[in-house]
Structure 1
Amino acid sequence: MASAFRSSTRLILVVGVLILCSVSSVQSWSKEGHMLTCRIAQNLLEAGPAHVVENLLPDYVNGDLSALCVWPDQIRHWYKYRWTSHLHYIDTPDQACSYEYSRDCHDQNGLKDMCVDGAIQNFTSQLQHYGQGTSDRRYNMTEALLFLSHFMGDIHQPMHVGFTSDEGGNTINLRWYKHKSNLHHVWDREIILTALKEYYDKDVDLLQKDLEKNITSGLWHDDLTSWTECNDLIACPHKYASESIQLACKYGYEGVKSGETLSEEYFNTRLPIVMKRIVQGGVRLAMILNRIFSDTHADGVAAAT
C-alpha cells in the first residue's frame, strides 16, 4: 500500500471538524448517513472495544465517533490527503454488475489497492497493530479508526461501486423531484434527506431509533448473524463491495435515464435499500471493531487531543 497510509497529524483532525459545515458538496453518504452508520456501530460495541474507541477519539468530541465520521470527506482534497481521494469508491466495468479485486481495485494510474476495499483492508490491518508502536503510530490509530469508520459507510453505498464511464452515477444528471441532482447524489443524500423530511421531522435521532429498533427486535433481527459472518477481516470487504455493485445494477441504474425526473416511485422502492445498507455498514463496523479490540487494553495508549 502507499506509504501515505501511515501519515498522521492531530491538527488536521481539529481543523477538519471546524470546517464540517462549510463544505458544500460531499460525495459519499450524506453527513446524516455516515453519522447513522457510526452511531449504530458505537452502540453495538462491547464494553472493552467501546473504551478503546473512546480513548482513541479526540477529547473535544466527548467520545462520540459519529462526530468525526465525515472527516475523511473534509480532507480528501487537502494536499496532505489528496492520495485518499481514490479510496472512497470502486469503478467497475460498465454493465458487468460484478466486482473483482484484482481487476477493479486501483486508481486511474493503475496503482493497485487504491479503492475503498483496499482502504478498509489497510486500516483494519493498522488497527490490529494497535498499541505496539511509537507515539506517532498511536496518533495514527485515531486516523485509522476514522478512515475505517467512514469507508465502511462508503462501501455499503451501492453507487460507490458503480460503472466506470459514469463515475458511479455522478455524470447521470437528472432531477430529484423539483431540483437538479445526479444519480450518485440521489443515493448519497437525496433519499436520506427526503426520508428525514417526510417521516422524521428532519430529526436524525428519530430515524436512528427506528433503525435500531429494527436491529434489536424488528425487520433485520434475524439477519444479523449472516451479515456479520466473516472468517477473515481482511477479505470480508470483497463481499461488501460485491453486494453494492449488484444493488447498484438492480436498484440504482435500473430504469434510470439521464435528464429524467425521479420522485415518489423511485423513492419508495429504493428507500428500504438505502436504510438497510446504512444499518449493515454500522453492524459490520461494530463487528470489526469488537474483534480487533476484544483483547486490547486502551490505558497505555494516549488519545489524540
Structure 2
Amino acid sequence: MNLKLILLIPFFLFTKSTDEVVFFWGQNGHRVTGKIAENHLTKKAKKNIDKLLKGKSLAFVSTYADEIKSDRKYNSYSVWHYVNMGLEESYEASEKNPEGDLVVGIDTCIKVLKNEQSSEEDKVFHLKMIIHLIGDLHQPMHIGRREDKGGNDVQVQWFGQGTNLHSVWDTKIIEDFNMSYLELAENADQLSNAQIASLQKGTVIDWVNEVHKITNDVYGSVKSGDKLSYRYSYLYLETVRTQLQKGGIRLAKVLNDIFG
C-alpha cells in the first residue's frame, strides 16, 4: 500500500463525523480524474483542448454530465453513465441496452471529436461528456447488475445511516479521504512512466471487463441489510484511490489519441 495512504488511514479513522463535508465521486472524484488526466496531456492535446474549453480545466468541466441530468432534453444520455452486466459475463457476451450504454457513449464521443466535420458546439459537448464518462467507467458500481440497478437496490447501513451499495461507492468511501480534489490527485498521481504505459494499454472494453472484476468482488462482499463502517472503508480505500488514478491516466490516453 502507498506510504502516503498508510499515513492517511489513521487520520480518517479518527475524523469521521456527521458534520464533515461530503466529497462525491460525482464531484471531487471526477475532478481528481480530470486533474490527473490534465497532468499527462501532451502539449498539443492541451492546446487543442484549451481552445474548445476556453481555458477551463478538465477538473472544472468533469461534472458537466451530471449537472445536465435534471434537464429533460438530455434524458437520452442517461444510459451513457453505466453498463449492466451479469456477474460472470464479459461486456462482449452481455445483453446490450438498445438505447446505448457507457461503452457506446464513449465511442460516440470519440467519433464526434475525431470528425473534422463536427461543429465546435458538438465537440465541446462530447468533450465534456467523455471527460466524465471515463471517470464513471472506473467506478465499479457503474458496471453493475441490471436487476439491482448497479447496487442502487442493495440497501445497507453506512455508519448507522440507511443508504445503498451504489451510493457507498459513489460518495461514501471517497469522503473518508478527507482531502480536497487537488490533494487527492497529488496523492494518487504517483506513478513511473512504465506504470503509466502499462495502465494505458488495452481498449475501453478491456477496461470495462477489468473494472467488472472489482464489481464482482464488491457484490460478493456485501448483502442487503449489512452494516458497513470503518472496516469496509479500510478494505476498499486503496481500491477507490487506484480507480481514480486509472481513470485519470486512461482519460489522458484517450484525449492524447484524439487531440495529439
Distance 1:255 1:148 in 2: 30
Counterparts of 1:1-305 in structure 2 under 5 Å? Answer: 29-57=25-53, 59=54, 62-93=55-86, 96-101=87-92, 103-106=94-97, 110-111=98-99, 114-129=100-115, 132-133=116-117, 137-196=119-178, 200=179, 203-212=180-189, 214-216=190-192, 222-230=194-202, 236-250=203-217, 252-294=218-260
Contact 1:90/1:104, CA 8 A, preserved across alignment: no
Distance 2:84 2:171 in 1: 20
* DSSP-derived class of the 2:177 partner: helix
Distance 2:64 2:122 in 1: 14
Distance 1:256 1:272 in 2: 18
* DSSP-derived class of the 1:276 partner: helix
**Deviation (angstroms), 1:204:** 2.5
- For structure 2, the 5+ residue unaligned runs are 1-22
Amino acid at match of 1:167: K
Instruction: State the percentage of identical aligned residues.
Output: 27
Contact 1:127/1:145, CA 8 A, preserved across alignment: yes
Q: CA RMSD in A?
A: 2.0
* DSSP-derived class of the 2:201 partner: coil
Amino acid at match of 1:286: A
* DSSP-derived class of the 1:141 partner: helix
The structure carrying a bigger helix percent of its residues is 2
Using the size of structure 2 for normalisation, the TM-score is 0.86
Distance 1:29 1:243 in 2: 19
* DSSP-derived class of the 1:174 partner: strand
**Deviation (angstroms), 1:45:** 0.4
- For structure 1, the 5+ residue unaligned runs are 1-25, 231-235, 295-305
* DSSP-derived class of the 1:181 partner: strand
Amino acid at match of 2:113: L
In the alignment of these two chains, the number of paired residues is 239
1:263/1:104 CA distance change after superposition, 3 Å:
same
